[in-house]
Chain A
């Protein structure tokens, strides 16, 4: 049984139909990327998984259980940590408090505070600093750390490197690799940096116009110049 399954999902914003019969699977411990141009439905897919949008028709299954229609916090409680794009930390809380708030409500497991701080060693000197006084890259590290400290079964990263300096993008991918290597959490990655994303993903879905236009391994995608040209702009 896959960890997460989207079954014929159709999602709407008001009356606009955004997703058309999207089906995808993510297995336990797997890293899956969703690629596609802006407006292809990537973020809508994530919002549907998190319960911000209820599919109609269609189902979202987590460990075989239908979670479509649950509230975002209920989805999160079932082991899905969502690291949204844009400003990501609680700015008036310290880095330590950001982790504490997330860790308390999350599940217990492999990712203890100590383990998280070992992987995110750059955060150790910043623990008492307020989120609002961090650089964009530091904020992003806090956001990913806050996601993984919850010991999710599925970690969803929405554009984790958007707007970051190249050096920090490398750091971000490096911690994502470490998380993947630990194997506890499956990762669903939505990213613009196609090359880096493909290098760490087990499987890829490409969205175009709200439909899945490709599904396969990164190697298989490499061979599909048509898909890359039409739906990814590379």
Chain B
């Protein structure tokens, strides 16, 4: 069985919470798109954490795949008039291929050099998107596309789109859990812990690291496609390294060693930003302060605080 009973119960509980969230959000002064956004960033962060928490590799370039798929979705709908059922997979495939190529070029670099290269590649995408006016709309972003129907299901209304994203969200949780439960996932953890010891076992470390990079970037792409559809808008900041930084922040705040950590981080991030930004445009300041507090005092994140050290 690729999921334990405990996994099914936990994922089921999270699914149940998100299933009823559209009813709760308006009651607490929030709105349904905030819930949608939490799931989108949740997909981004959970996928991202396969690489960060799972394999121990820090990337500041995953926004490139997020934004690439966002733009691709918009462009495929707008210029090629592709139906969503084709546009979304094509956009995600684009992120996958871009990650496979970029990953092959940079995965041999270690630590800080790798992180710097991810920033460099990410910023390259950012500048292309912000300069190529005729295709991307430049700094103003890409507008004029609208989410409509997906296989006959009208996802225009906010609540319908929420449940549309919910489906992908659930699949993401199940996939990431199954991956981390598998021999491949355990091998990634072994690599995170000790690269040399993993090599002594005959593990082709670079191959696995490349795999983790591509899989996580594919989820970045899925999240980016959904985000562009949520906003009906794609803009250069989607590709900026600061967006990659948000994924790091979510993973760290929620707890990158806990399965649901990045999701909790995404929830806190989106929710707090939503609340704080109604009072001040400088919402990043208190969020930054929270990040600092977590790094200094709660390195295992929110979920780490509740973790029991029973060794199981």
Whole-angstrom distance from the CB of B50 to the nearest CB of chain A?
Answer: 15
Known: A93-B186, A97-B186, A129-B311. A105 touches B203 (CB 8 A): yes
Q: Give the residues from 201 to 229 in chain B that come closer than 8 angstroms, CB to CB, to chain A.
A: 201-205
Q: How far is the CA of A66 from the CA of B257 in the complex (A)?
A: 42
Q: Give the residues from 119 to 137 in chain A that come closer than 8 angstroms, CB to CB, to chain B.
A: 128-130, 132-133
Docked-complex contact B201 and A50, CB < 8 angstroms: no
Question: Which candidate, A80-88, A187-195, A198-206, A214-222, is the interface stretch facing chain B?
Answer: A80-88
Docked-complex contact B193 and A105, CB < 8 angstroms: no
B194 within 8 A of A: yes
Docked-complex contact B186 and A100, CB < 8 angstroms: yes
Q: How far is the CA of A76 from the CA of B199 in the complex (A)?
A: 8
A146 within 8 A of B: yes
A173 within 8 A of B: no
Q: How far is the CA of A81 from the CA of B186 in the complex (A)?
A: 19
List A contacts of B196 (CB < 8 A).
72, 84
Whole-angstrom distance from the CB of A76 to the nearest CB of chain B?
Answer: 3
Docked-complex contact A101 and B183, CB < 8 angstroms: yes
B169-203: CB near A (< 8 Å → 1, else 0) gives 00000000000000100110110011011111111
Q: How far is the CA of A150 from the CA of B200 in the complex (A)?
A: 11
Whole-angstrom distance from the CB of A222 to the nearest CB of chain B?
Answer: 33
The listed residue (B183, B187, B190, B201) touching A81 by CB distance below 8 A is: B201
A104 within 8 A of B: yes
**Chain B CB within 10 Å, residue with most, of A88, A90, A98, A130:** A90
Q: How far is the CA of A93 from the CA of B193 in the complex (A)?
A: 9
Number of interface residues of A (CB under 8 A): 29
Q: Give the residues from 143 to 176 in chain A that come closer than 8 angstroms, CB to CB, to chain B.
A: 146, 150
List A contacts of B197 (CB < 8 A).
84, 88, 90
Q: How far is the CA of A106 from the CA of B186 in the complex (A)?
A: 15
Q: How far is the CA of A81 from the CA of B200 in the complex (A)?
A: 7
Whole-angstrom distance from the CB of A4 to the nearest CB of chain B?
Answer: 16
Q: How far is the CA of A104 from the CA of B208 in the complex (A)?
A: 14
Q: How far is the CA of A97 from the CA of B311 in the complex (A)?
A: 14
List B contacts of A146 (CB < 8 A).
201
For the complex, would chain B's binding face be called helix, strand, loop or mixed by DSSP majority? helix
Whole-angstrom distance from the CB of A67 to the nearest CB of chain B?
Answer: 13
Docked-complex contact B202 and A105, CB < 8 angstroms: yes
Q: How far is the CA of A100 from the CA of B186 in the complex (A)?
A: 8
Whole-angstrom distance from the CB of B256 to the nearest CB of chain A?
Answer: 12
Number of interface residues of B (CB under 8 A): 20
Known: A88-B197, A90-B197, A97-B186. A76 touches B312 (CB 8 A): no
Whole-angstrom distance from the CB of A144 to the nearest CB of chain B?
Answer: 13
Q: How far is the CA of A10 from the CA of B30 in the complex (A)?
A: 70
List B contacts of A150 (CB < 8 A).
201-202
Q: Which residue of chain B has the shortest Cβ distance to A50 in the bound complex?
A: B200
Docked-complex contact B199 and A101, CB < 8 angstroms: no
B145-188: CB near A (< 8 Å → 1, else 0) gives 00000000000000000000000000000000000000100110
Whole-angstrom distance from the CB of A92 to the nearest CB of chain B?
Answer: 6
Known: A93-B189, A133-B311. A73 touches B183 (CB 8 A): no
Whole-angstrom distance from the CB of B184 to the nearest CB of chain A?
Answer: 9
Known: A50-B200, A101-B183, A104-B183. A90 touches B311 (CB 8 A): no
Known: A93-B190, A101-B187, A101-B190. A128 touches B312 (CB 8 A): yes
Q: How far is the CA of A104 from the CA of B194 in the complex (A)?
A: 18
List A contacts of B205 (CB < 8 A).
73
Docked-complex contact A105 and B311, CB < 8 angstroms: no
Known: A90-B194, A91-B193, A130-B311. A105 touches B200 (CB 8 A): no
Whole-angstrom distance from the CB of A171 to the nearest CB of chain B?
Answer: 22
A108 within 8 A of B: no
A94-117: CB near B (< 8 Å → 1, else 0) gives 000110111011100000000000
List B contacts of A84 (CB < 8 A).
196-197, 200
The listed residue (B193, B200, B204, B311) touching A82 by CB distance below 8 A is: B200
Q: Which residue of chain B has the shortest Cβ distance to A72 in the bound complex?
A: B199
Q: How far is the CA of A91 from the CA of B309 in the complex (A)?
A: 13
Q: Which residue of chain B has the shortest Cβ distance to A128 in the bound complex?
A: B312
15 contacting pairs across A/B (C-beta < 8 A): A71-B199, A73-B198, A73-B202, A76-B199, A76-B200, A77-B202, A81-B201, A84-B197, A90-B189, A90-B190, A90-B193, A90-B197, A101-B183, A101-B187, A129-B311
Beyond contacts A92-B193, A128-B312, A129-B312: 10 other A-B pairs, Cβ-Cβ < 8 A, are: A92-B189, A93-B190, A104-B183, A105-B187, A105-B202, A105-B203, A106-B201, A133-B311, A146-B201, A150-B202
Top 10 closest pairs, chain A to chain B, by CB: A76-B202, A133-B311, A72-B199, A77-B202, A73-B199, A82-B200, A104-B183, A105-B202, A97-B186, A90-B190
